[in-house]
Protein backbone atom coordinates (compact mmCIF):
# COMPACT_ATOMS: atom_id res chain seq x y z
CA UNK A 1 0.00 0.00 0.00
CA UNK A 2 1.16 3.54 -0.79
CA UNK A 3 1.36 6.11 2.00
CA UNK A 4 2.52 9.66 2.20
CA UNK A 5 5.28 10.09 4.74
CA UNK A 6 8.03 12.39 5.97
CA UNK A 7 11.33 10.50 5.82
CA UNK A 8 14.44 11.12 7.88
CA UNK A 9 17.62 10.46 5.92
CA UNK A 10 20.50 12.26 7.59
CA UNK A 11 21.42 14.27 10.70
CA UNK A 12 20.71 17.95 10.23
CA UNK A 13 18.76 17.50 6.99
CA UNK A 14 15.07 18.33 6.56
CA UNK A 15 12.67 15.39 6.34
CA UNK A 16 11.77 14.36 2.81
CA UNK A 17 8.03 14.31 2.18
CA UNK A 18 7.36 11.53 -0.31
CA UNK A 19 5.34 8.41 -0.91
CA UNK A 20 6.48 5.14 0.69
CA UNK A 21 5.34 1.52 0.45
CA UNK A 22 3.73 0.02 3.55
CA UNK A 23 3.51 -3.78 3.96
CA UNK A 24 0.62 -5.69 5.46
CA UNK A 25 0.80 -6.05 9.22
CA UNK A 26 2.40 -9.18 10.69
CA UNK A 27 0.28 -11.60 12.75
CA UNK A 28 0.58 -9.61 16.01
CA UNK A 29 0.41 -6.15 14.41
CA UNK A 30 -2.17 -3.74 13.04
CA UNK A 31 -2.14 -1.46 10.03
CA UNK A 32 -3.38 1.96 11.23
CA UNK A 33 -4.58 4.86 9.09
CA UNK A 34 -3.65 8.00 10.99
CA UNK A 35 -5.88 11.03 11.05
CA UNK A 36 -3.25 13.29 12.61
CA UNK A 37 0.10 13.40 14.37
CA UNK A 38 1.68 15.85 16.76
CA UNK A 39 5.21 17.19 16.38
CA UNK A 40 7.39 16.76 19.46
CA UNK A 41 10.80 18.04 20.47
CA UNK A 42 12.00 14.44 20.61
CA UNK A 43 12.03 14.42 16.82
CA UNK A 44 14.06 17.64 16.74
CA UNK A 45 16.47 16.07 19.20
CA UNK A 46 16.74 12.95 17.06
CA UNK A 47 17.08 14.86 13.77
CA UNK A 48 19.87 16.92 15.31
CA UNK A 49 21.89 13.80 16.12
CA UNK A 50 21.02 13.70 19.84
CA UNK A 51 20.41 9.97 20.01
CA UNK A 52 23.27 7.52 20.55
CA UNK A 53 22.18 5.10 17.80
CA UNK A 54 24.16 4.33 14.65
CA UNK A 55 22.44 6.84 12.40
CA UNK A 56 23.80 5.32 9.20
CA UNK A 57 22.36 1.90 10.06
CA UNK A 58 19.05 3.41 11.21
CA UNK A 59 18.41 5.53 8.09
CA UNK A 60 16.18 6.12 6.25
CA UNK A 61 13.57 6.20 9.00
CA UNK A 62 10.00 7.33 9.58
CA UNK A 63 9.86 9.34 12.79
CA UNK A 64 6.78 10.48 14.74
CA UNK A 65 5.12 9.18 17.89
CA UNK A 66 1.96 11.20 18.62
CA UNK A 67 -0.71 9.73 16.43
CA UNK A 68 -4.44 9.21 16.41
CA UNK A 69 -5.98 6.85 13.89
CA UNK A 70 -8.19 3.96 12.91
CA UNK A 71 -7.28 0.29 12.51
CA UNK A 72 -7.66 -0.69 8.86
CA UNK A 73 -6.27 -4.20 9.10
CA UNK A 74 -5.61 -6.42 12.12
CA UNK A 75 -3.01 -9.22 12.00
CA UNK A 76 -4.18 -12.85 12.15
CA UNK A 77 -3.31 -13.29 15.85
CA UNK A 78 -4.63 -9.93 17.02
CA UNK A 79 -7.47 -10.46 19.50
CA UNK A 80 -8.14 -7.13 21.20
CA UNK A 81 -8.52 -4.89 18.14
CA UNK A 82 -10.46 -5.01 14.91
CA UNK A 83 -10.93 -2.97 11.75
CA UNK A 84 -12.52 0.37 12.56
CA UNK A 85 -11.27 0.65 16.13
CA UNK A 86 -9.92 4.06 17.09
CA UNK A 87 -6.41 3.91 18.50
CA UNK A 88 -3.49 5.92 19.82
CA UNK A 89 -0.09 4.27 19.12
CA UNK A 90 2.09 3.85 22.21
CA UNK A 91 5.84 4.19 22.31
CA UNK A 92 5.74 2.32 25.62
CA UNK A 93 3.76 -0.84 25.06
CA UNK A 94 1.60 -2.61 27.62
CA UNK A 95 1.73 -6.36 27.08
CA UNK A 96 0.13 -7.05 30.45
CA UNK A 97 2.33 -10.03 31.19
CA UNK A 98 5.97 -8.90 31.65
CA UNK A 99 7.50 -8.21 35.08
CA UNK A 100 6.99 -4.47 34.63
CA UNK A 101 3.36 -4.72 33.50
CA UNK A 102 2.59 -6.82 36.56
CA UNK A 103 4.24 -4.26 38.86
CA UNK A 104 2.10 -1.38 40.09
CA UNK A 105 5.24 0.77 40.30
CA UNK A 106 6.16 1.10 36.66
CA UNK A 107 4.79 1.43 33.15
CA UNK A 108 8.02 0.47 31.44
CA UNK A 109 6.78 -2.65 29.66
CA UNK A 110 9.79 -4.63 28.47
CA UNK A 111 7.91 -6.94 26.09
CA UNK A 112 9.14 -5.38 22.85
CA UNK A 113 12.69 -4.69 24.06
CA UNK A 114 14.20 -7.71 22.33
CA UNK A 115 11.64 -7.78 19.52
CA UNK A 116 13.06 -5.12 17.25
CA UNK A 117 11.94 -2.00 19.11
CA UNK A 118 15.46 -0.60 19.36
CA UNK A 119 16.47 -1.85 15.92
CA UNK A 120 13.61 -0.02 14.23
CA UNK A 121 11.95 -3.17 12.94
CA UNK A 122 8.87 -5.25 13.72
CA UNK A 123 9.04 -8.49 15.79
CA UNK A 124 10.02 -10.62 12.76
CA UNK A 125 13.15 -8.50 12.36
CA UNK A 126 11.97 -6.62 9.27
CA UNK A 127 10.56 -3.15 8.73
CA UNK A 128 7.14 -2.71 7.10
CA UNK A 129 8.22 0.45 5.25
CA UNK A 130 10.07 0.71 1.92
CA UNK A 131 11.15 3.63 -0.24
CA UNK A 132 12.71 3.46 -3.69
CA UNK A 133 13.50 -0.20 -3.06
CA UNK A 134 15.17 0.51 0.29
CA UNK A 135 13.99 -0.66 3.71
CA UNK A 136 12.88 2.20 5.95
CA UNK A 137 13.22 1.88 9.73
CA UNK A 138 10.45 2.35 12.29
CA UNK A 139 10.85 4.81 15.17
CA UNK A 140 9.69 4.31 18.76
CA UNK A 141 7.47 1.53 17.48
CA UNK A 142 5.00 4.14 16.22
CA UNK A 143 6.31 6.04 13.11
CA UNK A 144 3.38 8.39 12.92
CA UNK A 145 4.95 10.57 10.22
CA UNK A 146 3.49 8.10 7.73
CA UNK A 147 -0.26 8.27 7.11
CA UNK A 148 -0.38 4.46 7.17
CA UNK A 149 1.74 2.85 9.84
CA UNK A 150 2.17 -0.63 11.30
CA UNK A 151 2.18 -1.02 15.09
CA UNK A 152 2.22 -4.12 17.34
CA UNK A 153 -1.13 -4.83 19.02
CA UNK A 154 0.44 -4.39 22.51
CA UNK A 155 1.40 -0.84 21.54
CA UNK A 156 -2.05 0.39 20.53
CA UNK A 157 -4.43 1.94 23.05
CA UNK A 158 -8.06 1.55 21.99
CA UNK A 159 -10.03 4.72 22.67
CA UNK A 160 -13.66 5.84 22.44
CA UNK A 161 -14.85 6.68 18.93
CA UNK A 162 -16.40 10.05 19.70
CA UNK A 163 -13.04 11.60 20.62
CA UNK A 164 -11.52 13.75 17.85
CA UNK A 165 -8.38 11.98 16.65
CA UNK A 166 -6.67 15.26 15.72
CA UNK A 167 -6.74 16.29 19.37
CA UNK A 168 -6.31 13.10 21.37
CA UNK A 169 -3.31 12.21 19.18
CA UNK A 170 -1.41 14.45 21.61
CA UNK A 171 -2.10 11.90 24.33
CA UNK A 172 0.50 9.83 22.51
CA UNK A 173 3.21 11.80 24.29
CA UNK A 174 3.24 15.30 25.75
CA UNK A 175 -0.12 15.47 27.49
CA UNK A 176 0.07 12.02 28.99
CA UNK A 177 3.67 12.63 30.06
CA UNK A 178 2.75 15.81 31.94
CA UNK A 179 -0.62 14.82 33.37
CA UNK A 180 0.51 11.26 34.10
CA UNK A 181 3.62 12.43 35.97
CA UNK A 182 1.22 14.00 38.47
CA UNK A 183 -1.43 11.29 38.59
CA UNK A 184 0.59 8.09 38.23
CA UNK A 185 4.25 8.78 39.02
CA UNK A 186 3.99 11.31 41.86
CA UNK A 187 0.45 10.38 42.92
CA UNK A 188 -0.27 13.96 44.03
CA UNK A 189 -2.89 14.13 46.77
CA UNK A 190 -5.68 16.71 47.00
CA UNK A 191 -4.49 19.84 48.79
CA UNK A 192 -0.80 19.22 48.12
CA UNK A 193 1.55 21.97 46.95
CA UNK A 194 3.06 21.49 43.51
CA UNK A 195 5.85 23.43 41.79
CA UNK A 196 6.30 23.10 38.03
CA UNK A 197 9.68 24.13 36.61
CA UNK A 198 9.25 24.92 32.92
CA UNK A 199 5.94 25.77 31.26
CA UNK A 200 6.47 24.41 27.78
CA UNK A 201 4.22 21.75 26.28
CA UNK A 202 5.08 19.24 29.02
CA UNK A 203 5.08 21.58 32.02
CA UNK A 204 1.71 23.02 31.05
CA UNK A 205 0.28 19.54 31.21
CA UNK A 206 1.84 19.02 34.62
CA UNK A 207 -0.11 22.12 35.65
CA UNK A 208 -3.27 20.54 34.25
CA UNK A 209 -2.53 17.27 36.01
CA UNK A 210 -2.07 19.09 39.31
CA UNK A 211 -5.43 20.84 38.82
CA UNK A 212 -7.14 17.52 38.02
CA UNK A 213 -5.50 15.94 41.10
CA UNK A 214 -6.89 18.74 43.28
CA UNK A 215 -3.57 20.25 44.32
CA UNK A 216 -3.89 23.16 46.73
CA UNK A 217 -1.09 25.33 45.38
CA UNK A 218 0.11 25.05 41.79
CA UNK A 219 3.23 27.16 41.35
CA UNK A 220 4.39 27.67 37.77
CA UNK A 221 8.03 28.68 37.16
CA UNK A 222 9.30 29.89 33.80
CA UNK A 223 11.30 32.71 32.24
CA UNK A 224 8.62 33.81 29.76
CA UNK A 225 5.59 35.85 30.83
CA UNK A 226 3.40 34.44 28.05
CA UNK A 227 4.07 30.87 29.15
CA UNK A 228 3.29 31.79 32.74
CA UNK A 229 0.05 33.37 31.57
CA UNK A 230 -0.84 30.16 29.74
CA UNK A 231 -0.03 28.19 32.90
CA UNK A 232 -2.44 30.40 34.79
CA UNK A 233 -5.19 29.71 32.27
CA UNK A 234 -4.62 25.98 32.69
CA UNK A 235 -4.75 26.06 36.48
CA UNK A 236 -1.62 27.54 38.05
CA UNK A 237 -2.42 29.43 41.26
CA UNK A 238 0.97 31.16 41.59
CA UNK A 239 3.39 32.35 38.92
CA UNK A 240 7.14 32.83 39.35
CA UNK A 241 9.26 34.41 36.67
CA UNK A 242 12.67 33.01 37.58
CA UNK A 243 14.30 35.98 35.82
CA UNK A 244 13.07 38.15 38.67
CA UNK A 245 14.66 35.82 41.25
CA UNK A 246 18.23 35.53 40.06
CA UNK A 247 17.41 32.84 37.51
CA UNK A 248 16.01 30.27 39.92
CA UNK A 249 12.54 29.62 41.26
CA UNK A 250 13.75 27.63 44.27
CA UNK A 251 13.74 30.42 46.84
CA UNK A 252 10.35 31.74 45.76
CA UNK A 253 8.79 28.26 45.84
CA UNK A 254 10.15 27.68 49.33
CA UNK A 255 8.76 31.01 50.46
CA UNK A 256 5.31 30.34 48.96
CA UNK A 257 5.13 26.91 50.57
CA UNK A 258 6.59 27.65 53.98
CA UNK A 259 9.82 25.73 53.44
CA UNK A 260 9.36 23.61 50.36
CA UNK A 261 6.72 22.15 48.06
CA UNK A 262 5.24 18.70 48.57
CA UNK A 263 6.01 17.93 44.93
CA UNK A 264 8.09 19.49 42.18
CA UNK A 265 8.33 18.61 38.51
CA UNK A 266 11.15 19.48 36.13
CA UNK A 267 10.10 19.89 32.50
CA UNK A 268 12.99 21.65 30.77
CA UNK A 269 15.71 19.02 30.38
CA UNK A 270 18.22 21.51 31.79
CA UNK A 271 20.29 19.84 34.52
CA UNK A 272 20.71 23.09 36.49
CA UNK A 273 16.93 23.42 36.62
CA UNK A 274 16.67 19.78 37.71
CA UNK A 275 18.73 20.68 40.74
CA UNK A 276 16.62 23.77 41.41
CA UNK A 277 13.45 21.69 41.25
CA UNK A 278 14.91 19.08 43.61
CA UNK A 279 16.01 21.71 46.10
CA UNK A 280 12.56 23.28 46.15
CA UNK A 281 10.78 20.36 47.83
CA UNK A 282 10.26 20.14 51.55
CA UNK A 283 12.39 18.04 53.86
CA UNK A 284 10.72 14.94 55.20
CA UNK A 285 9.00 13.45 52.16
CA UNK A 286 9.10 16.14 49.47
CA UNK A 287 9.23 14.48 46.05
CA UNK A 288 10.83 15.77 42.84
CA UNK A 289 9.99 14.17 39.50
CA UNK A 290 12.27 14.71 36.50
CA UNK A 291 10.51 14.70 33.14
CA UNK A 292 12.79 16.67 30.82
CA UNK A 293 15.38 14.75 28.84
CA UNK A 294 18.90 16.08 29.38
CA UNK A 295 21.50 16.13 26.64
CA UNK A 296 23.63 13.01 26.41
CA UNK A 297 26.57 13.28 28.81
CA UNK A 298 25.03 15.92 31.05
CA UNK A 299 24.60 15.08 34.70
CA UNK A 300 22.66 16.41 37.63
CA UNK A 301 24.60 17.09 40.82
CA UNK A 302 23.08 17.00 44.29
CA UNK A 303 24.01 17.49 47.92
CA UNK A 304 23.46 14.08 49.54
CA UNK A 305 22.36 15.64 52.81
CA UNK A 306 19.22 16.92 51.09
CA UNK A 307 18.30 13.31 50.37
CA UNK A 308 19.19 12.14 53.88
CA UNK A 309 16.66 14.70 55.05
CA UNK A 310 13.92 12.66 53.44
CA UNK A 311 13.60 14.15 49.97
CA UNK A 312 12.85 11.82 47.08
CA UNK A 313 14.15 12.18 43.53
CA UNK A 314 12.71 10.19 40.69
CA UNK A 315 11.76 10.50 37.06
CA UNK A 316 9.01 9.52 34.72
CA UNK A 317 8.61 8.31 31.16
CA UNK A 318 5.23 8.73 29.47
CA UNK A 319 3.90 9.93 32.82
CA UNK A 320 4.03 6.48 34.37
CA UNK A 321 1.00 5.67 32.20
CA UNK A 322 0.25 2.05 31.40
CA UNK A 323 -0.99 3.04 27.97
CA UNK A 324 -3.58 0.46 26.99
CA UNK A 325 -5.34 0.47 30.34
CA UNK A 326 -4.88 4.06 31.52
CA UNK A 327 -4.69 6.31 28.45
CA UNK A 328 -8.46 5.99 27.87
CA UNK A 329 -9.01 7.71 31.26
CA UNK A 330 -7.30 10.80 29.88
CA UNK A 331 -9.52 10.71 26.81
CA UNK A 332 -12.47 10.82 29.21
CA UNK A 333 -10.96 13.84 31.01
CA UNK A 334 -10.69 15.59 27.64
CA UNK A 335 -14.24 14.72 26.63
CA UNK A 336 -15.71 15.92 29.96
CA UNK A 337 -13.79 19.20 29.70
CA UNK A 338 -11.41 18.79 32.62
CA UNK A 339 -8.38 18.26 30.39
CA UNK A 340 -7.69 21.07 27.94
CA UNK A 341 -6.10 20.21 24.62
CA UNK A 342 -7.54 22.64 22.05
CA UNK A 343 -6.07 25.60 23.94
CA UNK A 344 -2.56 24.29 23.32
CA UNK A 345 -2.88 23.65 19.61
CA UNK A 346 -1.08 26.52 17.93
CA UNK A 347 -1.63 25.46 14.33
CA UNK A 348 -2.76 22.59 12.15
CA UNK A 349 -0.58 21.98 9.13
CA UNK A 350 -0.28 19.63 6.20
CA UNK A 351 2.55 17.08 6.12
CA UNK A 352 4.39 19.16 3.53
CA UNK A 353 4.82 21.94 6.13
CA UNK A 354 6.48 19.66 8.67
CA UNK A 355 10.01 21.04 8.33
CA UNK A 356 8.74 24.60 8.61
CA UNK A 357 6.85 23.73 11.80
CA UNK A 358 9.97 22.22 13.34
CA UNK A 359 11.71 25.55 12.72
CA UNK A 360 8.89 27.37 14.58
CA UNK A 361 9.30 24.93 17.46
CA UNK A 362 13.05 25.50 17.61
CA UNK A 363 12.27 29.19 18.04
CA UNK A 364 9.84 28.37 20.88
CA UNK A 365 6.93 29.81 18.90
CA UNK A 366 3.60 28.61 20.22
CA UNK A 367 2.91 25.25 21.81
CA UNK A 368 1.75 22.39 19.69
CA UNK A 369 1.65 21.80 15.95
CA UNK A 370 -0.50 19.08 14.47
CA UNK A 371 -0.16 17.47 11.07
CA UNK A 372 -3.55 16.61 9.58
CA UNK A 373 -3.35 13.81 7.01
Contact status: 284 vs a copy of itself (CB under 8 A): yes
Whole-number Å distance between alpha carbons of 148 and 165: 15
Q: Is 214 exposed, middle or buried (0-12, 13-18, 19+ CB in 10 A)?
A: exposed
49 binds a copy of itself (CB under 8 A): no
Residue of 18, 309, 325, 332 that binds a copy of itself (CB under 8 A) = 309
Collect all residues with Cβ–Cβ distance below 8 Å to 252 and sequence separation of at least 6.
219, 221, 240, 245
Q: Work out whether 302 is an interface residue with a copy of itself (CB under 8 A).
A: yes
- Residue 274 within binding range of a copy of itself, rule CB under 8 A: yes
Please state the three-class secondary structure of 189-231 as a single string. CCCCEEEEECCCHHHHHHHHHHHHHCCCEEEEEECCHHHHHHH
Site track 164-203 with a copy of itself (rule: CB under 8 A), x = hit:
----------------------------------------
Q: Does 283 bind a copy of itself (CB under 8 A)?
A: yes
312 lies in the binding site for a copy of itself (CB under 8 A): yes
Instruction: Tell whether residue 95 is a contact of a copy of itself (CB under 8 A).
Output: no
110 vs 355, which CB is nearer to a copy of itself? 110
3 state SS of 342:
helix
Q: Residues of 138-171 as b/e, b for ≥16 C-beta within 10 angstroms?
A: bbbbbbbbbbbbbbbbbbbbbbeeebebbbbbbb
Is 56 among the residues that bind a copy of itself (CB under 8 A)? no
Residue from 212, 300, 345, 349 touching a copy of itself (CB under 8 A): that is 300
Residue 76 or 301: the one with the smaller Cβ distance to a copy of itself is 301
Footprint of a copy of itself (CB under 8 A): 100, 103, 105-108, 110, 271, 274, 283-285, 290-294, 298-317, 320
Amino acid sequence: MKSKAAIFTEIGKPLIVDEIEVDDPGPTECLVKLDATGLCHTEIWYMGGGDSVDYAAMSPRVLGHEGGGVVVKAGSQVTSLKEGDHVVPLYISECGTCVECRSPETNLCSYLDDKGYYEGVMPDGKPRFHWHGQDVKHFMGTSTFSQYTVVPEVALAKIREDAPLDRVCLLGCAITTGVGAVLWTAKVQPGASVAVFGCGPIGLNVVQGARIAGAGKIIAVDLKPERLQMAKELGATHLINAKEHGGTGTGAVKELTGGGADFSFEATGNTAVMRQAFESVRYGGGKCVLIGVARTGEEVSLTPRMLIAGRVLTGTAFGGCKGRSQLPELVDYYMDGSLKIDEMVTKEIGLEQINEAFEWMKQDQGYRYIVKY
